[in-house]
Structure 1
Amino acid sequence: MPRSSLRHQFFNYINGCAFAALSMFNLMAFADPKNQTVDLSSVAQNIKILASDAFEGRGPLTQGEQLTIEYLAQQYKKLGLKGANPNSVGSSPLGQYFQAVPIARIIPDQNMKLVIGDLSFTSGKDFTARTEHINNQITLNDSSLVFVGYGINAPEYQWNDYADIDVIGKTVIVLVNDPGFATQNPEIFTGNAMTYYGRWTYKYEEAARQGAKAVLVVHETAPAAYPWSVVESSNTGSKYTLVDSQQNTSKLPIMGWLKLAATEQIFKQSGLNYQELKQRALQADFKPVRLKQSANLTLKNIISHAISHNVIAKIEGNTYPNEYVLAGAHWDHFGTNKTSKGSIVYNGAVDNASGTAGTLEIARILMAKHKIKPFERSILFINFTAEETGLIGSEQFSKGDIIPTKNMVALVNIDGMNVLDKVDYILQYGDGLSEMEDYLVRATLAQQRRVKLDPRPQNGLFFRSDHFSLAKQGVPSLLFMSLGDTDPEYIANKYHKAEDDFSPTWSLGGVEQDIELMVDIIQTLTNSRDWPKWKMDSDFKTSREADLSK
């Protein structure tokens, strides 16, 4: 559909369905700044609009994207925020509110077979394989197999599974999670709480640095935190990736998973016992094991290219305008699935229309405060695209094309809000990571609430939302997420399902108290000379110190 037709549809929808609510929203933006409180009617209406069928599930690269990004840009503009992209995107008058995100869509051919020795494995059933290379065909031809334990190189933990082994051009088999989870020993890594070294994304990144051709991550439900069905559904269909000037050739050529039963067959064929080797891999002095077989695979891909968009707006600081405190939330969800029985719209009301509406409300409150007493630092509001398909929008933003990461003070990221009643706590994801946790404690105590540590640290949620793209570049971050913590039915019946719809019965008490808390943290940082630091030795800390020393 032409862009002009999309705009016509957009304005018809807004004018017909939400005129009264938006009028109230605009009036509130210019109400007495001294008495700014959370306007739950505006929050509710924004969630309702963003999670309506008219927005088609907010799928990237769809009509729903165009409606969503133009809606958000218009709301920021009405509030008085400026677009944060100095170079206008396209011919749209709202261009400065958009950041282009070049995306490649890669669909792996599922007719492939993984052949190892005398064994032949079926895609989806026994293994998965995909790539982020812009390459229509990648082949493993008698690629040597090496078991490298957890595939971790972590100097701060005195751990290197790649010591004294050359894996260039080889296929490595690695365990999921990290030794801390397997031992439940807090003296090993961080015990039950997953570190980034336990994430499958890290396994691929480190193997690429080591020069491997392919990685097969062994799936076991407990350390992975999800069943094989999640691996299969997440890796056998369309996947999206950013594209760099080298066509992503610096990334791992083949990113795979291997079912436990298939893994045990492979080790047995090589005269090895997988379970015994897995236990040996729990020792820091573990030595990689070369298997007798080699891997053969032909990965064919259908590749297409398109442009998606982040939405960016700012309140400009009065004293230090080039220093930015960031507030973010991803705007995307899973779009619409057309079936033989009709279209299914994945509206993503909680995940993450609620967080997106939260950024609009925080912007309204802070803009009103700014008009009374201008902030010293600038505040950037960013709504990321393609979070659900791999943190793609935030990865693009983290490159620093709009704002250098050394100018980013910290990020507050919302990925699903508590749309039900108020609670006496706030969840903290990660423990002992950065001084942003101290800001969280102070603001929470001011509300007479308490900080509650993530009840499922083994799931590694800190590493699975947009703030993590910035954290990898050294920017300290806080994640605000309430996906099922106050609603036991949410994960089982609504999370990433068509049932995640807006409900007029929501009290939004949790939204109110969490927005107030985030406003407190952002406002404090905006009028401070503090640069929150990383507490724990890590690549994040190293990146930050190097960035700020430039």
Structure 2
Amino acid sequence: MRTIFAISAIISTLATPAYAQTTTAAPDLSVDTLKSVTKELSDDKFEGRAPASETEPAVLDYIVSRFKAAGLKPGNHGKWLQDVPLVEITAQNVKPLTFTGGSAPISLDYRTDMVVATYQVTPKIDLSNSDVVFVGYGINAPERGWNDYAGVDVKGKTVVILVNDPDWQTMNRDGPFEGRAMTYYGRWTYKYEEAARQGAAAAIIVHQTEPASYGWGVVRSSWTGPQLEPDIAGDHMDQSKAIGWIQLDAAKKLFAAAGKDFDKLAEAAKRKGFHAVPLGLKASTGFVNSIRRQASKNVIGILPGTEAPDEVVLYSAHWDHLGKCDAVDGDDICNGALDNASGVAGLVTLAQANAKAGPTRRSQVFLAVTAEESGLLGSAYYAANPVYPLSKTVGGVNMDVLNANGATKNFVVVGAGKSELEDMIKPLVADEGRVIESEPHPEAGGYYRSDHFSFAKKGVPMLDATSGNDLVKGGKEAGEAADKDYTDNRYHKPQDEYDPDWDWSGALQDLQIYYRLGRELAEGDAWPNWYEGSEFRKIRDQSRGGD
């Protein structure tokens, strides 16, 4: 899940097809449903809702019971659940990550200085005396004339990589990688993918809080303990042996031992034409893996359409969280109340309202997906194995963390400037007396960090939006303080627990917009597309036969 941040510049008007003012009435949404579902799903008895855990069946039973009570029908050919084959890999007896060959040996301790894991489904990982190469941002983007791997062979070697894009410190959208706005090349997932394509034995990212958009505590809690991957043929043996992160201070010591200045090389890596730098060091680590194969589940409900039931509007949210995590004051359950029990509560609330309003021309599908925290695995599996063809999926809304800070004066589109759904929500936001603003921290790459991205890659326009932080009560100062408190103290930590004092009025504002957008799509015959120039436009056009 991506974190919530403060707001800055207003979205510019785009030359796009006009959508008529909607006449869909605002629904009567149940705050009691929001509270009860969020409270129940974040209860300690579910132990943090880890996928494929002992508590998953009870979590699924509860979600299905709420879907039924809301008026939904089973959405997977008469069944509520869709199997998502996963393999759980738990690293054990992790050796320090050591570097030799420099002015002094460097030994980095697991969890404190570094974290390491693997995608490979194998009982043992042994990285021994692997040559170390600094590859800057680890990007190979021929369409942008950029290749950090040019002229270097990293097969069997360990690559050290910077997080985010080279131009992330540019305070506008100008630059080879869209300036301040992170592209997919800046995401850690891409960096490991590219390192594997280059044949690297290990890929280690240097953690820096601002470009990563979260502190070391989030890395440590997310990258230790059981890790989930898709259970596929080949067992991911085409991936690097080891992947992981090191602390910034550890990286600086490492470079100093190699006789290099980290800051100078990081600065050089920002410029096109940067050449990878062998550090003259050898990296070693190792660990054993416990391996468990088990299917987790997506939950699918539907309100069938009347005239075009094969065309669907999609609402999604992930039900999973981290399970057991690093203890804080003796509490080791990461309950995930806001992240993302609240999103599932939003699904149930919207289902209730739509069922009460009666059937629509098109079908409406409500999808609670698994394993988002493990890399959007549940949504990716559905997108690759859709129950309803993606060419017939009109579009929809993904919900990842609802606003429990109170009503706001503004509304944020994450990754603004991508799809025509943005035009459709403009009158809906205006009806609430709010303004649409763009995300102030596009360097966080929020667009690539939640389940809508799985559908976007397949061409389906999905709105990813949230409240701003200009609170009706307290203004931006109060909103920014609340966001900072969540990011610093509760995000991916045991403190993300249900609070009976939360103010759900902001969530209700947003859900009104999601309801009206979905209802307009389901009642109408429009096929919103991506804007011209969007990276997802071509695949949508192909799936729709050039529409």
TM-score norm. by structure 1 comes to 0.83
Q: Give the counterpart of 1:201 among 189, 208, 212.
A: 189
> Partner residue of 1:463?
448
Structure 2 letter corresponding to 1:509: S
> Partner residue of 2:88?
105
> Partner residue of 1:16?
none
Aligned counterparts of 1:167 and 1:212: Cα–Cα separation in 2: 5
CA 1:544/1:129 → structure 2, altered by over 3 Å: closer, same or farther? farther
- CA positional deviation for 1:549: 4.6
Aligned counterparts of 2:335 and 2:251: Cα–Cα separation in 1: 38
Aligned counterparts of 1:339 and 1:204: Cα–Cα separation in 2: 28
Please state whether the residue corresponding to 2:365 is helix, strand or coil: strand
Q: Give the counterpart of 1:146 among 119, 133, 143.
A: 133
> Partner residue of 2:21?
none
CA 1:114/1:493 → structure 2, altered by over 3 Å: closer, same or farther? closer
Moved more, 377-386 or 329-338: 329-338
CA 1:483/1:104 → structure 2, altered by over 3 Å: closer, same or farther? farther
Structure 2 letter corresponding to 1:74: S
Structure 2 letter corresponding to 1:221: T
- CA positional deviation for 1:198: 1.2
Please state whether the residue corresponding to 2:167 is helix, strand or coil: helix
Structure 2 letter corresponding to 1:135: T
Verify: 1:256 aligned to 2:244, yes or no.
yes
Verify: 1:416 aligned to 2:412, yes or no.
no
> Partner residue of 1:276?
264
Q: Give the counterpart of 1:135 among 112, 115, 122.
A: 122
Please state whether the residue corresponding to 1:144 is helix, strand or coil: strand
> Partner residue of 1:303?
291
**1:479-527 CA distances to partner (integer Å, 9 max, x unpaired)?**
2445988435433444334443434444421122211100111112223
The 5 Å alignment of 1:406-445 reads: 406-445=391-430
Aligned counterparts of 1:335 and 1:510: Cα–Cα separation in 2: 27
CA 1:505/1:279 → structure 2, altered by over 3 Å: closer, same or farther? closer
**1:115-145 CA distances to partner (integer Å, 9 max, x unpaired)?**
3333342233333221121111233344333
- CA positional deviation for 1:438: 2.3
Aligned counterparts of 2:164 and 2:504: Cα–Cα separation in 1: 35
Aligned counterparts of 2:247 and 2:464: Cα–Cα separation in 1: 32
Aligned counterparts of 1:220 and 1:504: Cα–Cα separation in 2: 35
- CA positional deviation for 1:155: 4.2
**1:36-58 CA distances to partner (integer Å, 9 max, x unpaired)?**
41122333333333333444443
Higher normalized contact order (CA 8 Å, seq sep 6+, divided by chain length):
2
- CA positional deviation for 1:315: 1.8
- CA positional deviation for 1:264: 3.3
Q: Give the counterpart of 1:117 among 87, 100, 103.
A: 100
CA 1:183/1:65 → structure 2, altered by over 3 Å: closer, same or farther? same
- Count residues in correspondence: 507
CA 1:284/1:406 → structure 2, altered by over 3 Å: closer, same or farther? farther
Q: Give the counterpart of 2:200 among 209, 212, 217.
A: 212
Structure 1 letter corresponding to 2:107: F
Verify: 1:48 aligned to 2:39, yes or no.
yes
> Partner residue of 1:22?
none
Q: Give the counterpart of 2:338 among 327, 333, 350.
A: 350
Please state whether the residue corresponding to 2:229 is helix, strand or coil: strand
Verify: 1:235 aligned to 2:223, yes or no.
yes
Structure 2 letter corresponding to 1:112: K
**1:201-225 CA distances to partner (integer Å, 9 max, x unpaired)?**
1111222233322211122233222
**1:305-329 CA distances to partner (integer Å, 9 max, x unpaired)?**
2222111111222333333221011
Cα root mean square deviation, aligned? 3.0
Verify: 1:191 aligned to 2:179, yes or no.
yes
Verify: 1:84 aligned to 2:72, yes or no.
no
Q: Give the counterpart of 1:391 among 376, 380, 405.
A: 376
Would you tell me which structure has more helix in proportion to its own residues?
1
Structure 1 letter corresponding to 2:301: A
Aligned counterparts of 2:428 and 2:468: Cα–Cα separation in 1: 22
> Partner residue of 2:4?
none
- CA positional deviation for 1:244: 0.9
Contact 1:110 1:124 in 2 (8 A): no
- CA positional deviation for 1:332: 2.2
CA 1:207/1:321 → structure 2, altered by over 3 Å: closer, same or farther? farther
Contact 2:134 2:161 in 1 (8 A): yes
The 5 Å alignment of 1:282-361 reads: 282-335=270-323, 345-361=333-349
Contact 2:100 2:283 in 1 (8 A): yes
> Partner residue of 1:74?
65
- CA positional deviation for 1:302: 1.7
Q: Give the counterpart of 1:519 among 497, 510, 515.
A: 515
Aligned counterparts of 1:340 and 1:493: Cα–Cα separation in 2: 11
- CA positional deviation for 1:533: 2.9
> Partner residue of 1:534?
530
CA 1:411/1:208 → structure 2, altered by over 3 Å: closer, same or farther? farther
Please state whether the residue corresponding to 1:418 is helix, strand or coil: coil
Contact 2:136 2:148 in 1 (8 A): yes
Aligned counterparts of 1:225 and 1:79: Cα–Cα separation in 2: 37
Contact 1:129 1:299 in 2 (8 A): no
Please state whether the residue corresponding to 1:180 is helix, strand or coil: coil
- CA positional deviation for 1:359: 0.7
Aligned counterparts of 1:163 and 1:506: Cα–Cα separation in 2: 52
Q: Give the counterpart of 1:405 among 390, 412, 415.
A: 390
CA 1:135/1:545 → structure 2, altered by over 3 Å: closer, same or farther? farther
Structure 1 letter corresponding to 2:100: G
Contact 1:417 1:483 in 2 (8 A): no
Contact 1:34 1:369 in 2 (8 A): no
TM-score norm. by structure 2 comes to 0.83
Aligned counterparts of 1:191 and 1:393: Cα–Cα separation in 2: 31
Q: Give the counterpart of 2:167 among 175, 180, 189.
A: 180
